[in-house]
Chain A
């Protein structure tokens, strides 16, 4: 019976908007080995809202071009296809969750999301991982399941926050108590629906237990550690004011000692200042603190 209730709740995820078909086409084209800038540009520019947000983002200090990119073709050439793919995916997914009610502090949520993405990217560079751009997207979207809960189950979401406050427990514990499932299961389901790369799906689904990932355990472990560091550094808010326990298996998967983290902190500070401009992809009325 309980399983039926959970299954029906998860099916409601299908009610959420899909990512626009242009995005899938662009993402598909970006993977083709012989794709041209002209072909990509003509596909993406069918959606002028996305084009304008891409240009706003790429001209922000996040990418460091500072107003020098005037059109989409330039953005594709200067940033590279992976970075543009991730920008398109991030913008279109963020668009789906642009209005979550006046009682939700979206600014603090997105600061935490961006912070986790930045920390993932910094660690990925230090560890010399390939596909560091995917690490940023995984970090940015790791808590997307929480936004699904707010959108689809708003009354349950406020019960969850009440549990966190009154019992001093983590948000994931409160989600399991109120909903019978948590944001990682929901996030994984969303990432499947959006056909994100398998390693990103896993990072959303296993960032609290990365040893369970199959495709790319290191990516899930990086998101796990980055989420913890983001909370320890008090960047934004993930729903509670607690630093989660890091299992020593996470450091074993990454092949690092704890002292390695100290070497990342200065870069995190520098990158975080630039990354706050990522918030420019939102309009002012999309980002609010509770009144």
Chain B
């Protein structure tokens, strides 16, 4: 049953910073994305590739962090740090996918 502060919408209407109201799972029960996860543009695109058509989200937006001091230099440092830490696994697709997810999160914190 959907609670009053939740809403089910087509995935095309999703915007970044919306928050899921329930887990998204595959038919076999494997978790694709957890309930309390924050949606971003790249994540929404990935969910579409899983064939997700509708999503139940919380109506209220979560407060974002505001930090106007971060600039491109910080982004470059994040990328360089990740390149360094992932240097021995850069030939492994799963690890590069993980690196991309972490990178999007760290850079997202700078701009939110």
* A contact residues vs B (CB 8 Å cutoff): 126-127, 168, 170, 228-229, 231-234, 241-246, 248, 251, 255-267, 269
Contacts and interface: CB of A to CB of B under 8 A. Distances in A.
B101 A259 contact: yes
Interface in B16-55: 20, 26, 29-38, 40, 43, 46-47, 50
A257 B98 contact: no
A245 B89 CA distance: 6
Given A245-B89, A255-B29, A261-B98, 9 more contacts: A242-B88, A248-B94, A255-B30, A255-B31, A257-B33, A260-B32, A260-B34, A265-B102, A266-B38
A248 B29 CA distance: 17
Contact of A264 (B30, B37, B106): B37
A241 B92 contact: no
A127 B25 CA distance: 12
Contacts of A244: 89
B99 A232 contact: yes
A269 B102 CA distance: 12
A243 B29 contact: no
Contacts of A266: 36-38, 105
Contact of B36 (A233, A245, A263): A263
A37 B98 CA distance: 45
Given A259-B43, A262-B43, A266-B37, A127 B31 contact: yes
Interface residues of B, number: 37
A127 B37 CA distance: 12
Contacts of B33: 257, 259-260, 262-263
Point out which of A231, A248, A259 has the most chain B C-beta atoms below 10 A from its C-beta: A259
A167 to B, nearest CB: 12
B101 A262 contact: yes
Contacts, number: 95
Contacts of B59: none
Q: Is the interface of B mostly helix, strand, loop or mixed?
A: helix
B61 to A, nearest CB: 13
B29 to A, nearest CB: 7
Interface in B60-112: 81-82, 84-89, 92, 94-95, 97-99, 101-102, 104-106, 109
A215 B86 CA distance: 31
A263 B81 contact: no
A263 B92 contact: no
The 5 closest A-B pairs by CB, nearest first: A263-B37, A263-B34, A126-B34, A265-B105, A262-B101
Given A241-B84, A246-B94, A262 B89 contact: no
Nearest to B40: A262
Contacts of B34: 126, 260, 263-264
B110 to A, nearest CB: 13
B24 to A, nearest CB: 9
A233 B46 contact: no
A244 B92 CA distance: 11
Contacts of B87: 242
Given A126-B35, A234-B81, A243 B95 contact: yes
B32 A259 contact: yes
B31 A243 contact: no
14 contacts: A126-B36, A127-B31, A232-B86, A233-B106, A242-B87, A243-B88, A245-B88, A245-B89, A245-B95, A259-B101, A263-B36, A263-B38, A264-B34, A266-B37
A262 B31 CA distance: 12
Given A263-B36, A265-B105, A267-B36, A246 B29 contact: no
